[in-house]
Amino acid sequence: MESPMKPRPAATPQRILLATWGTTGDIAPYTGLATGLSKAGHQVTVVTSQRYAVPFREHGLRVRAMPLNEQEAAVGAHKPRRARIDNGRDMALTAGNVLLEAAGEGTDVLLAHPLMHPQAAVIGEGLRLPCHGVYTVSHAMMLPRLIAGTPRLRYTVADVLVRRILSPLYAPVITALRRELGLRHRFTGGAFTGDVRISSARRHTVYYGFSSALLPDRMPLPAAHQTVGIWRPARPPDRRPDDRLTDFLASGPAPVYFGFGSMGQDQAERLSRIITHTVRRLRIRAVVQSGWAGLTDDGGADILTIGECPHAWLFPRMAAAVHHAGAGTTHASLQAALPTLPVPFTFDQPFWAARLRSLGLTPAAVPMPRLDSDVLSLALARLLADGRYRERTRRIGAMIEQQDGTAGVVRALGHTGAEQKPRHSPPWCTRWQPASDA
């Protein structure tokens, strides 16, 4: 559901460079943030990969596309660790190239997804531009067991540890950018932050596009980090649901949604088999979103496999959802008052799955390695039979709706303003290869 509130016009319109990259689930919230900033009067340019340029361009936004098709195709492939690191470094260098080229054309503020923040922070320093993180996950959330109970020291340790793990991927691009921008060389055991001390990143301003209603009490976020509420994905203009889907929904009881986003690429056959057995055992209907895994079904009348479909439209028409518990999908299911059974794979998904369980919104969180038709059938049967899960989900969904994340960022930018201007005729402009554009 899109927010009924429109962001107030910005007091001082700014040229905003929004850098985002990742999976489909990573990108979707930023379509809403970018369009919201544009509607508030800002001039927005989006830096993202060619794969995700269309969702921004179809809303009239300018896009500088990163040529990452080959590298993205290699992500998740069974390659030696060295080859995976080299591929990650290559992507980070390409992203730094495009972001630097776009920033050199004139901008007032940089907003960066966590995967693009290291490069953006250095560019902001070199061009004397304000740079803020816009995250849908904190680094510490990648280690949910370590931050269980959320004591401040453990949260800090988890945050620093994840940054150190990621630092080798960013070391080459940080070095290259500092050299091109004429910045004094710094040793960065925290190359991920672009600063000599890893802890300094905790003082960078970061706006989180998720709801505080899902967080534990006294979540020890750094002082300069704040939750603003979710960024609702922008609805594709003039796009109607597939007739097959609308006919299926009209032909019987509300189905259960199954989808795992960009996860499970190597488990399509196993997941498809588990879903089919569960649907038959519980005598329910199902809508299966194929995702990157390419999930399929056996063609039975009670299962429909679909491609892309906005969750804001689809979820209110479902009876329940079984998904990977990514931040965006989790918030979308709660907004729709949709009882959810999380099946987390990796990254921050176990954190959100644990929060659903702690808040009494689901009877179980089933890690992917433990998933089979017996476990799934038992947990899903409990979820569907107990109306308390839907009622609790409805209550917390109403709390999420009260927070307009895009308006929060618009307000924050109005307070910070364009603090500094770029240098004239940066010397690196003629030495970096041109970036792909719309």
Three-state SS annotation for 373-428: HHHHHHHHHHHHHCHHHHHHHHHHHHHHHCCCHHHHHHHHHHHHCCCCCCCCCCCC
Q: What is the pTM of this model?
A: 0.86
Taking residues 82-107, report their average pLDDT. 93
In this predicted structure, what is the pLDDT of residue 415? 63
pLDDT at 420 over 70: no
Q: Give 224-263 pLDDT, tens digit per residue.
A: 899 999 999 998 887 788 899 999 999 999 999 999 876 6
Where is pLDDT greater, at 300 or 34? 34
3-class DSSP state for residue 6?
Answer: coil
Taking residues 310-318, report their average pLDDT. 94
Taking residues 32-45, report their average pLDDT. 96
The DSSP H or E segment spanning 44 is strand 43-49
Q: Give 316-365 pLDDT, tens digit per residue.
A: 999 999 999 999 999 999 999 999 999 998 889 999 999 999 999 999 99
Q: What is the CATH number of domain 15-230+403-437?
A: 3.40.50.2000
Q: Give 356-408 pLDDT, tens digit per residue.
A: 999 999 999 999 989 999 999 999 999 999 999 999 999 999 999 999 999 99
Q: Are 326 and 343 in contact (CB under 8 A)?
A: no
Domain ranges of the chain: 15-230+403-437, 243-400
pLDDT band for position 438 (cuts 50, 70, 90): very low
Q: What is the CATH number of domain 243-400?
A: 3.40.50.2000
Does 15-230+403-437 match 243-400 in CATH topology? Answer: yes
pLDDT at 170 over 60: yes
